Amino acid sequence: MEPFKSLTAVAAPIVRANVDTDIIIPSREMKSVSKTGLAAGLFAGWRYTTIGGREPNPDFVLNRAEYGSAQIILGGENFGCGSSREHAVWALHEYGFRAVIAPSFSPIFFGNCVRNGIVPVRLPVATVQALAAWVERDPAQHRITVDLQNAVVRADDREHAFELDPESRDMLLEGLDAIALTLKQRAVIEEFWQRDRRARPWIYEIEEGASR
Amino acid sequence: MSPRSLFEKLWQSHLVQQLEGGAALLAIDRIFLHERTGSVALKSLAAAGRKIADPSRVFCTMDHIVDTFPGRGDETRMPGGSAFILETRAAARAAGIHLFDVRDPLQGIVHVISPELGIVLPGATVVCPDSHTCTQGALGALAWGIGSTEAEHALATGTLRVTRPKTMRVRFEGQRPAGVTAKDFALALIARYGSAGGNGYAVEFAGSAVRALDIEARLTLCNMATEFSAMTGLIAPDEHTFEYLRGRDFAPEGATWDHAVTAWRELSSDVGAHFDMDIEIDVSTLAPMITWGTSPQHAVAIDGVVPEQSASGTGPEAYARALQYMDLAPGTALTSLPIAAAFIGSCTNSRISDLRRAAALLRGRKVASGVRAICVPGSMSVKRQAEAEGLDKIFVEAGFEWRESGCSMCFFAGGESFGARERVVSSTNRNFESRQGPETRTHIASPETVAASAIAGHIADARALQPR
C-alpha cells in the first residue's frame, strides 16, 4: 500500500446521505474473483444512461470535464453504508480516488478505506456542504488539500482539523501491511490461545455432529 | 470490579494485546466466508503465500451467487457466477476449511446456518466479510462484518486489529402487540434514530420485549444493526439461547457443554454497567412497519403515508431522489400501492418461524393475479423442516415459487431480477436503489406483511387477516 502524506486535488461533490456500496459499485459490476477491473463499474447506476451500459450520463458529476481529474470525494452522512464489499473501495482507488471527506462513514467501509490507502476524513456536515459549494463555483481551480500528517483539510484559505484514530493514521501515513505487522506478534497470539484453550475448550475443539 | 457491560466482557476476554495507537488485537474464534467476498480473500491470501492460522475454525458457504432454482448446480443465472463457485471450492479445499458446498444438505445463508449448526456460540468472536454478520450477535457473540482484506488478516493471524467502539443499549420494553415482529422493532428504531444512528457504537439490545423474543426473532433484530450503521448488535444469552444451541452439529457436548453453559451464564451486562448511550422504545405503541424510500430509515407504520420532507428525517436532495426513484408523492397511503412482486427470504427473515408465520396467512388463500411471489428458505435444513410440516404445499398452492436456499433476490448480481420499476414488497434488509434489480422499487417489511400484500395485490396490513 502506498503511503499517504498529503494530497491537493479536484474534489467531486456527492453530498447525499446514505450513499451505499451498491451505488458505489453495483453487484452486477463485480464480475470476477478479483480486486481489479472495477473502475469501469464505479457508480455505474448513476454514471451511465442504462443498466449494464457504458453511455455516460452527462448529468453525473464524474462525467463533467471539470471533475475529470478528481481524486477526492465530498460525501454525505453514512457514506459507504450497506454491503461490506471491499470492491467499492477497490473501485474508488482504481479510478484514482485517494480521500473521501464526509460527516460519517459506515464502519466497514471506513476500515476498507484504511486498508487500501484511501483516507476517510470526518468533518461536520455543514463544513462538507460549504466545501462542496466552494468547489462547485470553480471545480478545476478550487482544489482541496488533505494533509494527513497534520490532520487538516485546507480549502479556500481555511483549515479544518479532523480526527482519525492513531492506528488508522499510522497505517495510511506509512502504507503499512497490517497482516505483516500483526504476524510479528505471533508468539503473543500463541500464548493467548494456549491460555484460552484451557478456559474455553469448546472454541477450539470442534467436532462435527451426526448430520455431517 | 466495576460493573461491566456484555460488550466489555466479550472485548476483554478476547484481548490479546493492547496496541500502540489505541487499537486492540482481538482473538477471533470463528471466521465465516462465502463465495462472493470470501473467494477473493482466500485467493489473495494464497497469492501472498500466507497460511490460515487455524483452518479448523474457518467455515465457508455458497450462498450469494449460487442459483436458487430447483435442480441448481455450479452454473448460475448470473453471468460469470460459476467462476466464483468453482474458485471458492478449489480455494476452500486447498486451505482445508469447512465447506458447505452447493449440494451439501447443510448449505444455506451464512447467518442462517451458523446459528442453526451451533458454529456461533455465546461469548465467541465471529467475523465474516459480510455486513450482516451482526445477525449472529443474537446468541451473545461479538460478531461483525469486515472487508475482504480484514478477512485475510483474520485468516492469517487469527486476530483483528480493532479500534474500540462506544457502547449503546437499546431497551425495548412493554408488551409486543399482535402482528408486530422483531423486524418492526428494528425498522422503528432506524426510522426514529436514522440509518447512521448507531454509527460508532456496538449496540446491545435489551429489555423485557427482547427477552420475550424467541431466538430466531432475536437474529432478525440483530441482523438490522448494520442498517443502523452500528459495528454490531448483541443480546445477552439466556436459557432460551442454551436450549436453542443444545445438540446442534458443531455445539459442544457432554462435560464440555456443561462447562460452556456455566461460563455463558456470566455473559450479561452487570447492573450499573456504563453505556455511552442508552435509549428505550416502548413496543406497545408500535405497528408493523414498511419502508417507502431507498434507505431503511425511510420507514413508517403500515397504516401510514409517505411523509413530507420535513418529517422524513432526510435532507431535501436525498428525499427528492428517493421519491422520484420510488415514484411516490407525499401523503400517499402505503396500503394504496399496487405491487408486482413479493419476496420472502434473506438472512433477515427466512428461518422456519418466519415461514410458519407467513404460511399461516397464506393457507387457503391465493396470491393476487399478476403478482410474482417467491419464497426462498434460508437453508436446506429450513427447507427440509418446512417440507416436513407441509409448508411448501401451502406456499405453492397460494401461488408462491418454492426455492432452494440462498441469498437469491435479496440483491441483484446481474442474473435473476425483478423487472425495471416494478414495486416489490420484500422481507429483506435493504431497499437501496436497484438492489433487487435494475430500477426495482423495494419496500421492506416483515414476512407477514409480505404475505398479506401478496394476497391483496397491494401493500397490506397483515393484522386484517386471520391466520389459518
Distance from CA of B284 to the nearest CA of A (A): 30
Same domain, B314 and B223: no
Q: Which among A23, A63, A58 has a CA at the least distance from the CA of A41?
A: A23
CATH number of the domain where residue B277 is located: 3.40.1060.10
**Chain B 17-76, residues with CB within 8 Å of chain A CB atoms:** 17, 19-23, 25, 27, 29, 36-37, 39-40, 43-44, 48, 50, 53, 56-57
Q: Is residue B447 part of a domain?
A: yes
User: Is the same domain home to B131 and B186?
Assistant: no
What's the number of CA atoms in the CB half-sphere (13 Å) around residue A37?
Answer: 7
pLDDT at A123 over 70: yes
Contacts of A32 in chain B (CB under 8 A): 80, 83
B416 touches A at CB < 8 Å: no
Are B398 and B371 a contacting pair, CB within 8 Å? no
B438 touches chain A (CB under 8 A): yes
Whether B84 and chain A come into contact, CB under 8 Å, resolves to yes
Enumerate the residues of chain A whose CB falls inside 8 A of the CB of residue B163: 165, 167-168
C-alpha cell at A74: 465530498
Put simply, whether A30 touches B (Cβ < 8 Å) is yes
Per-residue pLDDT of B110-149, as tens digits, reads 999 999 999 999 999 999 999 999 999 999 999 999 999 9
Q: Which of chain B's residues have a Cβ under 8 Å away from the Cβ of A170?
A: 21
How close B384 gets to chain A, by Cα (Å)? Answer: 13
Same domain assignment for residues B108 and B172: no
Instruction: Find chain A residues with C-beta within 8 A of B252's C-beta.
Output: 201-202, 205
Residue A210 confidence (pLDDT) above 90: no
Residue A175 has pLDDT above 60, yes or no: yes
Q: Looking at the structure, do residues B256 and B329 belong to the same domain, yes or no?
A: no
Q: Which B-chain residues 323-362 have CB contacts (< 8 A) with chain A?
A: none
Q: Confidence class of residue B1 from pLDDT cuts 50, 70 and 90? A: confident
Cβ–Cβ pairs < 8 A, chains A and B:
224
* Whether residue B339 is found in the same domain as residue B448: yes
C-alpha grid cell for residue A152? Answer: 487538516
Q: Quick one: CA dihedral B180, B183, B187, B189, positive or negative? A: positive
**Amino acid A198: pLDDT:** 97
Q: How close is the nearest chain A Cα to the Cα of B270, in Å?
A: 21
pLDDT category of residue A206 using cuts at 50, 70 and 90? confident
- Gap between the Cα atoms of B308 and B299, Å rounded: 13
Residues 119-158 of A with CB under 8 A from B: none
> CB of A41 within 8 Å of any CB in chain B?
no
In the predicted model, what is the mean pLDDT of chain B? 97
Residue A1 is classified by DSSP as -
pLDDT at residue A212 in the model: 56
**B431 touching A (Cβ < 8 Å):** no
| Residue B5 belongs to some domain of the structure | no
Q: Is residue B57 part of a domain?
A: yes
Whether B221 and B247 map to the same domain: the answer is no
CA angle B112, B113, B116 (to 5 degrees): 95
Q: pLDDT tens, B338-361?
A: 999 999 999 999 999 999 999 999
Residue B233 sits in the same domain as residue B334: no
pLDDT of residue B21: 83
Chain B nearest CA to A68, separation (Å): 23
- Residue A43, chain B, CB below 8 Å: the answer is no
Q: pLDDT tens digit string along B28-41?
A: 999 999 999 999 99
Q: Do B362 and B447 contact (CB within 8 A), yes or no?
A: no
| Cβ contact, residue pair A18, B317, below 8 Å | no
> Model pTM?
0.97
Give the Cα separation of B389 and B39 in Å (integer).
36
Confirm whether B12 is domain-assigned. no
Q: CB-based contacts of B165: which residues, under 8 Å, 6+ apart? A: A107, B200, B201, B202, B230, B231
The values of phi and psi at residue B375, to 5°, are -120, 125
Domain identity same for B106 and B219: no
Give the mean model confidence (pLDDT) for residues B421-442.
96
Q: Minimal Cα–Cα distance from B339 to chain A, Å? A: 22
Residue A211: the pLDDT is 55
Burial class (CB in 10 A: 0-12, 13-18, 19+), B212: middle
- Mutant choice from B13, B117, B131, B291 vs A, greatest count of A C-beta within 10 A: B131
Q: How far apart (Å, rounded) are the C-alpha atoms in residues A76 and A17?
A: 4
Who's near B253: CB < 8 A, 6+ residues apart?
Answer: A207
For residue B321, give the nearest of A16, A30, A165 by CB distance.
A16
Is B163's CB within 8 Å of A188's CB? no
Q: Is residue B296 part of a domain?
A: no
Q: Are residues B334 and B403 in the same domain?
A: yes
The per-residue pLDDT for range B9-60, each reduced to its tens digit, is 999 999 999 998 889 999 999 999 999 999 999 999 999 999 999 999 999 9
Which residues 62-121 of chain A have a CB within 8 Å of chain B? 76-78, 81-87, 89, 104-108, 111-112, 115-116
B114 touches chain A (CB under 8 A): no
Distance from CA of B294 to the nearest CA of A (A): 9
d(CA B401, CA B372): 8
pLDDT digits (tens, 9 = 90+) for B176-210: 999 999 999 999 999 999 999 999 999 999 999 99
Residue B317 binned pLDDT confidence (cut-offs 50, 70, 90): confident
Best mutation target among B25, B126, B199, B262 (most A Cβ atoms within 10 Å) is B199
How distant, in Å, are the alpha carbons of A88, A146, A164 from that of A3?
20, 13, 16
- Say whether pLDDT at B153 is over 60: yes
- Measure B231 CA to nearest chain A CA, in Å: 6
Residue A96 has a CB neighbour count (10 Å cut-off) of 14
Overall domain count for chain B: 3
Interface of B with A in 173-202 (CB under 8 A): 195-196, 199-200
- CA end-to-end distance (rounded Å), chain A: 42
**Alpha carbon of B67: minimum distance to chain A alpha carbons (Å):** 15
C-alpha cell at B9: 466482557
Q: Which domain holds residue B316?
A: 302-464
A182: chain B residues, CB-CB within 8 Å: 25, 153, 156-157, 159, 161
Q: Are residues B306 and B222 in the same domain?
A: no
Same domain, B378 and B415: yes
Cβ separation A203–B259 shorter than 8 A:
no
Specify if B4 maps to a domain: no
Picking from A82, A105, A211, the nearest residue to B432 by CB comes out as A82
CATH number, position B308: 3.30.499.10
Query: Average pLDDT of A74-97?
Result: 97
Residue of B nearest to A166 (CA): B21
Q: Do B106 and A17 touch (CB under 8 A)?
A: no
pLDDT bin (cut points 50, 70, 90) of residue A1 is: confident
In chain B, residues with a C-beta closer than 8 Å to the C-beta of A16 are: 315, 317-318, 321
Best of B150, B346, B407 to disrupt the A interface (most A CBs within 10 Å) is B150
B250 shares a domain with B123: yes
